[in-house]
Structure 1
Amino acid sequence: MKRIIYCLAFLFTLSNYLFAQSIDDPFSKERMRKDLEVFKNIRVKANSGLYKYRSEVQIDSIYLWAENEIDKSATYLDFYNIICQLTDFEGSLHNDTGLPDKYLRFVR
């Protein structure tokens, strides 16, 4: 029984290593644009304090900046940095942007 558990644990670890996406792997601009659109829609609909610290014009401006930054971006990390800047610009201390655990392990 222990042998089966060890084999399963080994196979699980090996599959995570072989199929894990690196934070520096390419990330398509099309997918970035779709993800940015979803992110913005969630912020507008669910974040009641979105315009508390910044005006609607300022928020629209930073999202326009983000769309333009995608043209210069190529990796998951690039996109993550754009999202972090958007979150920081909004000004609320209740919002947080973090990497998924698999990427945090990679960065460490």
Structure 2
Amino acid sequence: MFITISISAQKKKGKPANNDCYLTEAVKTFDLSDDQKNELNDLLIKASEDRAAIKKGVKTGEIIKDQVKGKTRGVNRKYFADLGKLTGKSREEVMAFVKEVGKNCR
């Protein structure tokens, strides 16, 4: 039981580090101000909460599994559009950044 708790705690601690890595890379790549960095952090948190709500909806039966992919895609599209507005970059540039950072911030 102790091992299980320890492993779970380590997984939870890893997530903020990924966001920190993501934010650091975004600031460097897009030359973001502190206000933009804070706004991006809010966007990341919102997208994460929306994805968690989808998972919760599946568990409670409010969302059927066939809807998950579409709903998650909608959350991601909104996030990518908001990131593009924040940075002033095209969708292609945003997607290239997200793909590259996904490799580097695991």
- Pairwise TM-score range, normalised by the shorter structure: 0.3 to 0.5
* Structure with greater Cα Rg: 1
TM-score (norm 2): 0.37
- Structure with higher RCO (Cα < 8 A, 6+ apart): 1
What is the TM-score when the length of structure 1 is the normalising length? 0.37
Q: Which has the higher helix share?
A: 2
